[in-house]
Amino acid sequence: MADDAIEVLLEEGRTFPPPDEFKQSGNLNDPGVWEKADKDPEGFWAEQAQQLDWFKPWDKVLEWDCPWAKWFIGGKLNVSYNCLDRHVKTARKNKAAIIWEGEPGDERVLTYRDVWREVNKFANVLKGLGVQKGDRVALYLGMVPELLIAMHACNRIGAVHSVVFGGFSAESLSDRINDASAKVLVTGDGGYRRGTIIPLKKNADEAVESSPSIEHVVVVRRVGSESDATMKEGRDHWWHELMADAPLWCEPEQMDSEDMLFSLYTSGTTGKPKGIVHTTAGYLLGVYLANKWVFDMKEDDVFWCAADIGWVTGHTHIVYGPMANGVTQVMYEGSPDWPDKDRLWRMVEKYGVTIFHTAPTAIRTFMRWGTEFPAAHDLSSLRLLGSVGEPINPEAWMWYHEHIGHQNCPIMDTWWQTETGHPLITPFPGITTLKPASATKPFPGVEADIVDEQGNSVPLGGGGYLVLKRPWPAMLRTVFNDPDRYVETYWSRFPGMYFAGDGAKRDKDGYFWLLGRVDDVMNVSGHRISTMEVESALVDHQAVAEAAVIGKQHEVKGQGICAFVSLITGVDNTPELVDELRAHVAKKIGAIARPDELYYAAELPKTRSGKIMRRLLRDIADGKALGDTTTLADPTVVAKLKEQYEDE
């Protein structure tokens, strides 16, 4: 863990107390909530759960047989009902739910009633295709309203969605479909990104060739004549054709609190990605409350989370949390630098966005582009900002505060994971005094701690592993089809505690400072990619004998991907092959996983038991002196590699 880095952070003496407006009228402004929740966590969550709409109330709040949790047992509810029907019954029915902008500049505004109607219709379409409660539906789309509509349609009938980020390759898509044995795939004829067209349908066709569980493919028309998509008779259907005669009403399924809501794949240390399983009541409660309290969502807010729905942030802060709160949201299809680098600020001004949420990697990119782009627009509608996905450095925090927030928007640096469902270490704008680059303190009712190797709590001022010591409603329930992996990954390192995989330190005031992953998972622009996945993709190439991949500090991305490969004997180590290998990884996993740097190594440094010593590769890449090499099978290997690296 980078211990020296945190010392610098902790010298960060600037503090930002909550502004008066938030202190007075923030959705959460009672500092007594923490004590109350700690005394009786179940009572606390049960009280909050009354804000949801239940078809039948629960009989029991929690059954905890560590690590197996069940919340709100016996309760019946429906997520789309909570996000749509309950607003449609009020004056919110004609309120804008989604203000959408396509990358080429086209616009669509959907009211709550519009979304509700489309969701009902698509729910009926899915039923017509044979989708039943519990069946899995894979969604592979760009940022178009149909993605959100399809997700709500799934939960309306009790089907489980599995969203696959539109930037993933055909092979990644196929792996995820197969793991979930999805019956239906919803995709598009293409999507716009930086002026070019993402061939969604072509990738989908390729994926479905090796995904026999798929019976039907529904295709959203987005790019029309610009697409080269072809339709396969009997299997493929146009979204708009199926929707044309779909009935307008679909009775929402009365779901059990613990019925599965969705699964979302995330990278782990080893092997294939894990399907993280979330359930109905707990997830809905967590995301409703976190959006209400952390982002202070009010009736007249215009919220914009600039994440992709393909990641958990988009699930929690676009599709579910804001809609459960009934706010108006902005949704954008494309790239932030299209047609120019002021696109996002132009949109903030145009739609009067009041709350803006993005990732540190984006903020660092904006910093690099220069202040003239935000300065060209009136951003005075903004009142609150968010950051998520990786540690934000103090420079980026201050830049965001000054150039986007104009010094009057509190910044919510929210720590959480696909697995946790919503922010668990986070400020609240009406309560928390902010320190730049600290995610501050745990959510009420959540017990977070920092422990040493033995699992003992580390006193304030010290660092170690971040753990959670008590169940919370929106926690993952298991790994899809792999309960052993759930136990092994999260609950075995420290028995009785949830191991997050992150290092952290706490200062004397009890503020948490996140230090990044302690396992072999990289955080590239806020996306989790395991070193294993990239290594497997490289080794898959016929020229590669072996590969070792590490994350390396990167100014913009947080971490960049650095690969070391040894080649099959007889293959020449040419610059053309470097490009080919990088492209190969992009094809196998997706462009996000393309190595930034790739070096040839005659051999890779290994322990006697054959484990690649990534730590040494990291030292080489960081230009550090080599640490202990005594466990190496052949110490000269790494010395040679270091020499070679420094020459390049």
Interface residues with ligand 7RM (CB under 6 A) are: 266, 311-313, 388-391, 413-418, 439, 500-502, 514, 516-517, 523, 526, 528
Minimum Å gap between C-beta 630 and ligand 7RM is 31
Smaller CB separation from ligand 7RM, 169 or 417 = 417
Provide the token pair at 345: 């600020």
Minimum Å gap between C-beta 415 and ligand 7RM is 4
Count other Cβ atoms within 10 Å, centred on residue 607: 11
Smaller CB separation from ligand 7RM, 111 or 525 = 525
CA distance 326 to 115: 12
Pairing of strands 274-279, 260-266: antiparallel
Show Cβ contacts of residue 360 under 8 Å, excluding neighbours closer than 6 positions.
387, 389, 390, 391, 392, 393, 396, 526, 558
Minimum Å gap between C-beta 286 and ligand 7RM is 13
Smaller CB separation from ligand 7RM, 99 or 396 = 396
Where is 346: in which H helix or E strand? helix 343-351
Smaller CB separation from ligand 7RM, 283 or 600 = 283
Provide the token pair at 490: 């999260």
Minimum Å gap between C-beta 16 and ligand 7RM is 16
Minimum Å gap between C-beta 166 and ligand 7RM is 16
Minimum Å gap between C-beta 359 and ligand 7RM is 8
Minimum Å gap between C-beta 391 and ligand 7RM is 4
Query: Which residue blocks in 129-263 are alpha helix, DSSP H?
Result: 145-157, 170-180, 200-209, 239-244
Pairing of strands 558-567, 544-554: antiparallel
Q: What share of the chain is helix, strand, coil (3-state, %, to 5)?
A: 35, 25, 40
CA distance 446 to 45: 10
Smaller CB separation from ligand 7RM, 236 or 390 = 390
Burial per residue of 401-412, b for 16 or more beta-carbon CB atoms within 10 angstroms, e otherwise: bebbbeeebbbb
Smaller CB separation from ligand 7RM, 355 or 388 = 388
Minimum Å gap between C-beta 170 and ligand 7RM is 22
Smaller CB separation from ligand 7RM, 79 or 388 = 388
Where is 598: in which H helix or E strand? strand 597-600
Minimum Å gap between C-beta 150 and ligand 7RM is 21
Q: How far apart are the first and last CA of the chain?
A: 27
Minimum Å gap between C-beta 458 and ligand 7RM is 18
What's the burial of 60, exposed, middle or buried (CB within 10 Å: 0-12/13-18/19+)?
middle
Smaller CB separation from ligand 7RM, 283 or 415 = 415
Minimum Å gap between C-beta 389 and ligand 7RM is 4
**Helix/strand/coil (H/E/C) assignment for every residue in 286-329:** HHHHHHHHHCCCCCCCEEEECCCCCCHHHHHHHHHHHHHHCCEE
Smaller CB separation from ligand 7RM, 290 or 324 = 290
Question: Do the beta carbons of residue 441 and residue 240 sit within 8 Å?
Answer: no
Smaller CB separation from ligand 7RM, 101 or 502 = 502
Minimum Å gap between C-beta 517 and ligand 7RM is 5
CA distance 258 to 471: 14
Smaller CB separation from ligand 7RM, 72 or 356 = 356
Smaller CB separation from ligand 7RM, 358 or 414 = 414
Where is 41: in which H helix or E strand? helix 41-49
Backbone angles phi, psi at 570, to 5 degrees: 95, -15
Smaller CB separation from ligand 7RM, 199 or 321 = 321
Where is 71: in which H helix or E strand? strand 68-73
Where is 124: in which H helix or E strand? helix 112-128
Smaller CB separation from ligand 7RM, 122 or 513 = 513
3-state secondary structure (DSSP) of residue 529: strand
Show Cβ contacts of residue 25 under 8 Å, excluding neighbours closer than 6 positions.
430
Minimum Å gap between C-beta 396 and ligand 7RM is 12
Minimum Å gap between C-beta 316 and ligand 7RM is 8
Question: Do the beta carbons of residue 524 and residue 453 sit within 8 Å?
Answer: no
